[in-house]
Structure 1
Amino acid sequence: MASLTSQDEHRLPTNVKARKYRLCCLFLGAKLAQPLHYDLAVHTDLEKLKFTGVVSVDLEVNDDTSKIVLNSLDLDIAPAKLVSDALQGEIATSTASIDKDKGRATFEFAKTLPKGSKARLTLPFVGKLTDSMIGYYISAYEQDGKKKYCALTQFEPVEARRAFPCWDEPLLKATFAITLVSHPDTVNLSNMQALSERVLPAAEVNASAEDSDILSPLQLDAGSYKVTKFATTPPMSTYLAAYANGDYKHLESSYTSPLSGKTRPLRIYSTPDVTHLTQFALDVKARALPIYEEIFKIEYPLPKLDTLIVAQFDAGAMENWGLITARQVIYMYDPEKSDILAKKRVVVTQSHECAHMWFGNIVTMSWWDNLWLNEGFASLMGEVIVMDKLYPEWKANSEFIDVHLSRALSLDAKRSSHPIEVPIHDAETINQLFDALSYSKAASMLRMLVAYVGEEKFLEGVTLYLKKRLYGNSVTRDLWEAIQEATGFDVPTLMNEWTLKIGYPVLTVKETDGGIVVRQDRFLDTGDAKDSENETIWQVPLQLLSTDASGKATVDSSLVLREREAKFAVDTTKPYKLNSNTNGVYRVSYTPERWLKIAEEAARPNSVFTLEDRMGLVSDAFELAQAGYTKTSSALDLAAGLENESEYLVWTSISSSLGSLINVWWEQKPEYDQLKAFRTRLFLPVVQRLGFEQKAGEDVDDTQLRSLAIATCASSGEKSVIEHLQGLWRKYLETNDESSIPADLVRTTLISAVRDGGDEDYKAAKDIYLKPVVTPTFRLAAISALCSTRNEALAQQTFDFLRNQVSNQDWHYFYGVLASNPVTRRLLTAFTKKHYEEIRSKFEGTALWSNLIKYSFSNLTKDEDIVDAQKFFEGKDVSKYNLALQQALDGIRTSSAWLKRSNEDVAAWLARNSSS
């Protein structure tokens, strides 16, 4: 394990405070900023794959100093120029040094700058445009059979320093005025609207009188150049600055502010090959922004909001203020050929990024230990509250349980978890915190708070928080105090443990005369929390559902468990349940007798347990069984009892839970095959009820349930389903028409074709992936298919293909499916180990690196797998992915313990239920 250094060692000295930057670069990006102002000019050379720049920074000197320290990485910096108002002239640089490990540049000057004075630092620099997907980088695409490049920035969290020398911390906000210089036939984009755009000969650009200090040092070669000057931004952090250059095309729309009546232009830019697939994403943005304004009572402050999508992008999307950037597969949608998942992906991502225009951009966390303030809020607002207004039929609040809550509870049940608000000791840690805790647990915690205080009052508090911190920075307490002011609840006391402490509780319920005794303990998925790991007492909103003599259900939202153990009144002769609607961030363990009654009630056609309740019960039952709180056979009984369930989202919980169980038992014969057969017995009647074809006017739930049931049966080897899918595949091969396969069956059809087919089917799937333009539904389906083969020779072809032809951004898609395929799971581990240095050099520094490590090891299940992994990583620098590695090893430990504890129980249950 890598040693950690103090947080202060990685913070910049504060003896000089940036008052104003002026940055000039042939094509450059700014992401993390300084307090008052940046001027930026950037020239991009897409032929030589380099950029050239100059940064001029107006400084306010806080202490007597002859030294200036700022962030810079992988840039060639020319001699610095410093002009001081107090010293009345230019001061020569005596020494300059670069610390690559810390990403810092230090400049020593011959004279001391006096405290309170102002100075101007100018730094010319040059950088390379690479395909790293961080800093200022290039993305490749194909047009008319030729490979072309475009360039864009990706600065979050600490990559602005790769694009220009700066003070790269979120607290150091500044305004930015950016100027871009480029080839005349390309498009320049940045955060703000263009004030002017001219095509000039190089001599006129270099001799520009208006911007001489940032343009003249560029020394452009002979020729003509487009010079685009953008308006100055509001104060913002460097990680939010953005710019791009390339042959972009766009679609345009607008929205009218419900607060001011002002109309703002909205555009979505892309490379020309995919522009026709971006209309839906543009429409979603136009619908979402007015909703956010109405909720927050704060108008979107910039004059425009663009979105740029490209082929190569590290994250899913990035909330740069005024210029959202994203990977194109997430934003592309064809109403004739894309499935419902593709449509949801567009809406979720676009709404999430629009939420950041307020959470993260108008108000920004002070330091990365409060990342959750950005991402948790964007997840809750964008993917639940606003999405529910956009598409209420999608039941976003219910789906949240499967998409976010279950994901968060799974990760946070591991010893290697971390608090939502975690101290950041070094730059390597920051990228690792963009995980299920900063996003999903944070959003789940906020959703729990909404259920406790009420959505209306919660949003009043949020609006108050935003208005108090407008254009500034914040910490967690700022939010809690604002919600407390709006609601009257003691929110800091209620919520502190949820953000500051690791893990979450399991509530153990025992029935007594007149009520129940509820005890809280930290939940670990290995079921063996030590006393030293079980010291936290959470404030737990119980959300107690109970029923009266008539069968009517009521929920008491006022009850809070504030101590280790307490008694609560409830009629235990009637159905009851803690964590009504599964709003809480915890598990609930009942006695075996109560679980039987809960299962009976959940299976009733008119159960008092809501859709959300039933989803949570399934998840709890299997996770508690994994940890040893209940028998796995009891969880299987619950799933079997829900065979007549009608709600799609409950079936997703059943499918996910059974999938997790099967995933752990993958090397246990014959139980593995028997578990798949049981899963088929549950899902095949759903296929038979709904049929294979979508009906006119069909409910969206039925469409999704049909797809889920067919996919589940196909993966379990059900012949009738596979035969139907093979028919669809043959029709596609005959016609080469994507629309010949129903959009919602594309993924399952392609997977089945390769998994149950031969070399020609494999080649056809590869050809789909290699098409220059293909809908995301088909492209992602082709990836899944290539990774789902049961033929080891074809699997080896997939690994060779991955190394030699797959774009960097698609690796994690390949890894995810390869890790889930029993045939390729151990091959993937061996592949990563064999090519470790090659993969490290390709992905180190990106958010994808941690994911690749986790996929490579987390689905293994034997104790010797842990020993083998530890031996492999011994002596390696794991600092950039240590959290992911430890989580992967914990996953192996959990699976191994579950197998040892429950294999006999599962085998006995399967024997009893083999023919039922």
Structure 2
Amino acid sequence: MAVKHLIENFIPENYEVFLDIDRKAKTIKGKTVITGEAKNLPVAFHAKDLEINKITFLGTDTSFTLNSAAEEVLVNLTEKGIVSLSIEYEAKLTDNMMGIYPSYYEINGEKRQLVSTQFESHFARQAFPCIDEPEAKATFDLSIKFDEEANDIIVSNMPEIEQKDGIHFFKRTVKMSSYLLAFAFGDMQAVKGKTKTGVEVGIFSTKVHAPESLEFAKDIAIKAIEFYEDYFGVAYPLPHSWHIALPDFSAGAMENWGCITYREACLIAEPHATQSTKQYVATVVAHELAHQWFGDLVTMKWWDDLWLNESFANMMEYVAVDAIHPEWNLWSQFSAVEANLALNRDAIDGVQSVHVEVNEPEEINTLFDPAIVYAKGARLMVMLRFWLGDKNFSKGLNDYFDTHKYGNTQGKDLWAALSEASGRDVAVFMNSWLEQPGYPVLTVNYYDGKLVLSQEQFFTGEGEEKGRIWQIPLRSNYDALPEVMTAERLEIPNFKLEEGKPLLINQENTAHYIVNYDATLLDAILTNLDSQDDLTKFQLLQDLKLLTKAQRVEYSTLIEILGYYSGEKSYTVSNAVNQLLADLAIFIEEGAEADVAFKSLRNKLFVKEYARLGWTQIKGESADDEALRTLVLSNLIIGENKDAVEKAKKLYLEFESDTSKIPADVRPIVLINEIKVSDSVELADKFFADYKSSSESFYKRELGAALSNTKLDSVVETILDAQKDAEQIKPQDLFFWYNYLIKKDFTQKKVWNWLKANWDWVVKKLGGDMSFDHYITYSGNTFKTAEMLAEAKAFFEPRKGQLGLERGINMALTEISDRVELVESQKEAVTSSVVALEKKL
């Protein structure tokens, strides 16, 4: 069924939005004057949960009809053309982090709140009647009155121009989509600065946080705006760039134009923050600022082109932060995080393509799949950037922004600009990647002096072969190979391998496919592995891991190759080892012979670096070593290394009175170790009390991750009982707790039973939120037994019609089914190979 677009009957030009908000009563009294072109009669506006009192047209009250199911109000205008109408209404502040809602926090024992907005994707209609579609761009004159108290401030997309009779008036916005309008008010603090071109940058938060914890984000924001202005060749178009940390926020951040809102963990970096925390904050800030051009200045025409916003911004966050902090070696992180996430999910039959149709509002939020629209989409943009060259890519973007500023586009418009700049047919190259789900495996065989390459869609489990073909950039280290492979099969006769130069394809891991080398070619790479760069070593293990999961390579072969990676000094390469060990863990039963060998294997793979790095940061050490230390220590604690366990215990005792003061880079490891070795109700109560009282987001997550290791029923019951109490666990953090607990064998069944018993409450509390389907995704990522597969089917299948969940449920059930089959068929081979490698090392 084709989606209905209200803009076809009414094109808005301007909204005068007045809101009178009472925080204590949680009420809104609103009046919106809408000016625009009525093309056909009657006209309709989006309105959800608005109690409309009066609509006035040409000075006369006009009849209207509310259609709650369609979230519309039908207005009986008497004439077409340029018109202006006034709508008076009432509404409630929501408590589900959509529309206009309060964020709750506590300072000095006093409960306080900020009020802010979340209008993406289609929640502006909960705040004021509008054409709530991205194509319906207009200007906004916002004025707000609220129950103002001493020290309260209010910020919005544009500067405040007047305050009169308690009403705050803001400058008219530029032309933009309804989902980008935003404001926040309450008792906030800010640190501010300016870019070289005079854009004022401010970081806002509650006064719970130290002002210095806002400085890092401010510096990144200033540098990122300056970088983008240069790279895009288009000036930042607003007078300010506000960034607001909210105590309650369902997503990570939201790119409201000039008034970006964040989950606190995504914006606040304490002075003692780890390198990984700073990298996380920097990339989130850079991501949202990329949207100020790609998404805000130029906006997708409809939500089926969401990738135009998110894929691009997800790539640009790495481009920008790498330019600001090249010492972080961020592109290796891109492979470890984004590429890994995308490759794993995109290999499941039934996965959505990057570009996908949207027919119902409920489907919009299911598009925000972090593995596809964000990670895969970003990887495709990286692939395109390498294929075109950075200069052509940058020039094409400049042309794109200049041509379409303040307008709406589709993917073809971006391809046209990039094609003009580069002289290449970008649409032909990219459409095979965007319009088709999945990705290819490139099989490479070398025999009788001939190199043969063939492509087919890759599945990690069962999958239906549909003859899909991709335009594959080969990026080889041999000139005999063409730049792009466009056919199913390619033969290169008279191909000669040079001594000491193994054939490498998809160098730098920039394109979205994996390579299956035959035994001769693979042996040549392994023989020369020490001379390869870190990303090549990472990529080889990444591809082999997936091939083994698909049962195209024997697990015995993969685990034997793992021996080549013992004692690696690179975080990038060690991360590949760590990811492989996580995949192997599903085959290992706790307490079995293989479990003992598996723990010992972890020790042997990482103990050399443990001796080098220890527990304490070394002055002047690289960001790579800082990250590697955390990874090494985590594996040794899992591996129950005696020295590591004792030192972790000693560190805990040193900071027992205030565990938040444990050095941040090793704190999560120390906390997990303490639960493992000293599990008790008293310890759990202490950790949970610290969790509830702390305002430091990363520390709270670390306490949650540690508590999920408990083996005490009463502790698990306490945590589950707290799930529905927002005073103890904020709704924004429910997904984290589910993810922590569902992954542990001891707690899995308990939290699963909780979800089943409380599903209706979860739907009521979080349904419609863009992260709601995480409950399904996390279950699909984890269950590995026939029993849990049967339970997942019985529970989820009857709910496929809820909130656009069908695709996610089908994906989760397919993933669990594939995993169950894999474990049952390969468990013996994996366990015997683990035991053999441990003895060998």
Q: TM-score, normalised by structure 1?
A: 0.88
Asked if 2 retains the 8 angstrom alpha-carbon contact of 1:600 and 1:641, the reply is no
Q: Deviations over 1:596-651 (max 9, x none)?
A: 3323322x2xx1x3222111111111111000110112221222211132211111
Q: Any stretches of 5+ residues in structure 2 without a counterpart?
A: none
Verify: 1:233 aligned to 2:173, yes or no.
Answer: yes
Match of 2:254?
318
Match of 2:268?
332
AA in 1 matched with 2:544: A
Shift of 1:506: 0.5
Match of 1:219?
none
AA in 2 matched with 1:895: R
Question: Which of 509, 518, 523 matches 1:591?
Answer: 518
Q: Deviations over 1:583-605 (max 9, x none)?
A: 11001112234333323322x2x
AA in 1 matched with 2:471: Q
Shift of 1:255: 1.1
Q: Which moved more, 1:633-642 or 1:864-873?
A: 864-873
Question: Which of 880, 903, 907 matches 2:827?
Answer: 903
SS in 2 for 1:803: coil
Aligned equivalents of 2:803 and 2:101: distance in 1?
24
Question: Which of 483, 503, 512 matches 1:559?
Answer: 483
Question: Which of 3, 11, 14 matches 2:5?
Answer: 11
Verify: 1:529 aligned to 2:463, yes or no.
Answer: yes
Q: Deviations over 1:96-132 (max 9, x none)?
A: 2223x322222235xx324xx2221211111111321
Verify: 1:79 aligned to 2:54, yes or no.
Answer: yes
Shift of 1:894: 2.2
Aligned equivalents of 1:874 and 1:523: distance in 2?
26
Match of 1:205?
none
AA in 2 matched with 1:103: E
**Distance of aligned partners of 1:510 and 1:525 in 2 relative to their CA distance in 1, 3 Å threshold:** same
Asked if 2 retains the 8 angstrom alpha-carbon contact of 1:175 and 1:234, the reply is yes
Match of 2:750?
827
Asked if 1 retains the 8 angstrom alpha-carbon contact of 2:503 and 2:521, the reply is no
Aligned equivalents of 1:400 and 1:594: distance in 2?
26
**Residues 745-894 of structure 1 correspond to what in structure 2 (within 5 A)?**
745-759=666-680, 760-773=682-695, 775-804=696-725, 805-876=728-799, 877-894=801-818
Q: Deviations over 1:498-549 (max 9, x none)?
A: 01111110011111333411110001111x433xx33211110011124xxx
Question: Which of 160, 169, 172 matches 1:194?
Answer: 160
SS in 2 for 1:915: helix
**Distance of aligned partners of 1:227 and 1:275 in 2 relative to their CA distance in 1, 3 Å threshold:** farther
Asked if 2 retains the 8 angstrom alpha-carbon contact of 1:665 and 1:899, the reply is no
Asked if 1 retains the 8 angstrom alpha-carbon contact of 2:339 and 2:375, the reply is yes
Asked if 2 retains the 8 angstrom alpha-carbon contact of 1:784 and 1:817, the reply is yes
Verify: 1:355 aligned to 2:319, yes or no.
Answer: no
Say how many residue pairs are matched: 829
Match of 1:28?
none
Question: Which of 196, 205, 208 matches 1:270?
Answer: 205
Q: Deviations over 1:764-787 (max 9, x none)?
A: 2112212243x3332221111122
Q: Deviations over 1:39-80 (max 9, x none)?
A: 2221211111111111111131223x2x22111111111121
Aligned equivalents of 1:122 and 1:670: distance in 2?
74
Match of 1:426?
360
Shift of 1:284: 1.0
SS in 1 for 2:353: coil
Shift of 1:806: 0.4
AA in 1 matched with 2:646: E
Aligned equivalents of 2:641 and 2:567: distance in 1?
20
Match of 1:539?
471
Question: Which of 564, 571, 590 matches 2:496?
Answer: 571
SS in 1 for 2:619: coil
AA in 2 matched with 1:687: Y
SS in 1 for 2:225: helix
Aligned equivalents of 2:32 and 2:589: distance in 1?
57
Question: Which of 340, 344, 364 matches 1:406?
Answer: 340
Match of 1:212?
none
Asked if 2 retains the 8 angstrom alpha-carbon contact of 1:40 and 1:177, the reply is yes
AA in 2 matched with 1:11: H
Asked if 2 retains the 8 angstrom alpha-carbon contact of 1:188 and 1:244, the reply is yes
Shift of 1:293: 0.4
SS in 1 for 2:76: strand
Match of 1:104?
72
AA in 2 matched with 1:299: A
Match of 2:36?
59
Verify: 1:70 aligned to 2:45, yes or no.
Answer: yes
Q: Which moved more, 1:311-320 or 1:781-790?
A: 781-790
AA in 1 matched with 2:9: N
Match of 2:62?
93
Shift of 1:900: 3.0
**Distance of aligned partners of 1:510 and 1:556 in 2 relative to their CA distance in 1, 3 Å threshold:** closer
**Distance of aligned partners of 1:669 and 1:854 in 2 relative to their CA distance in 1, 3 Å threshold:** farther
CA RMSD of aligned residues (A): 1.9
Shift of 1:667: 7.1
Q: Deviations over 1:702-753 (max 9, x none)?
A: 111111100111123222211111111111114x2633x2210011111111
SS in 1 for 2:25: coil
SS in 2 for 1:743: coil
Shift of 1:571: 2.5
**Residues 189-268 of structure 1 correspond to what in structure 2 (within 5 A)?**
189-198=155-164, 200=165, 226-257=166-197, 263-268=198-203
AA in 2 matched with 1:410: N
Shift of 1:808: 0.4
Shift of 1:661: 2.0
AA in 2 matched with 1:801: A
Shift of 1:294: 0.5
**Distance of aligned partners of 1:640 and 1:681 in 2 relative to their CA distance in 1, 3 Å threshold:** same
Aligned equivalents of 1:737 and 1:674: distance in 2?
33
Shift of 1:319: 0.5
Match of 2:110?
146
Verify: 1:437 aligned to 2:372, yes or no.
Answer: yes
SS in 2 for 1:779: helix
Aligned equivalents of 1:154 and 1:444: distance in 2?
28
Match of 1:550?
none
Aligned equivalents of 1:375 and 1:170: distance in 2?
14
SS in 2 for 1:780: helix
Q: Any stretches of 5+ residues in structure 1 without a counterpart?
A: 1-5, 19-35, 84-89, 201-225, 258-262, 547-554
Verify: 1:744 aligned to 2:744, yes or no.
Answer: no
SS in 2 for 1:393: helix
Aligned equivalents of 2:828 and 2:679: distance in 1?
37
Match of 1:137?
101
**Distance of aligned partners of 1:329 and 1:689 in 2 relative to their CA distance in 1, 3 Å threshold:** same
Shift of 1:850: 0.6
AA in 2 matched with 1:197: Q
Aligned equivalents of 1:427 and 1:906: distance in 2?
45
Aligned equivalents of 1:677 and 1:795: distance in 2?
29
Asked if 2 retains the 8 angstrom alpha-carbon contact of 1:249 and 1:275, the reply is no
**Distance of aligned partners of 1:769 and 1:557 in 2 relative to their CA distance in 1, 3 Å threshold:** farther
Asked if 2 retains the 8 angstrom alpha-carbon contact of 1:765 and 1:786, the reply is yes
Aligned equivalents of 1:319 and 1:372: distance in 2?
15
AA in 2 matched with 1:108: N
Asked if 2 retains the 8 angstrom alpha-carbon contact of 1:542 and 1:578, the reply is yes
**Residues 593-672 of structure 1 correspond to what in structure 2 (within 5 A)?**
593-602=520-529, 604=530, 607=531, 609-663=532-586, 665=588, 669-672=592-595
Aligned equivalents of 2:592 and 2:795: distance in 1?
29
SS in 1 for 2:496: coil
Aligned equivalents of 2:303 and 2:594: distance in 1?
46
Aligned equivalents of 2:480 and 2:803: distance in 1?
46
Q: Deviations over 1:141-199 (max 9, x none)?
A: 1122121121100011111111111101001111111111123432221100111123x
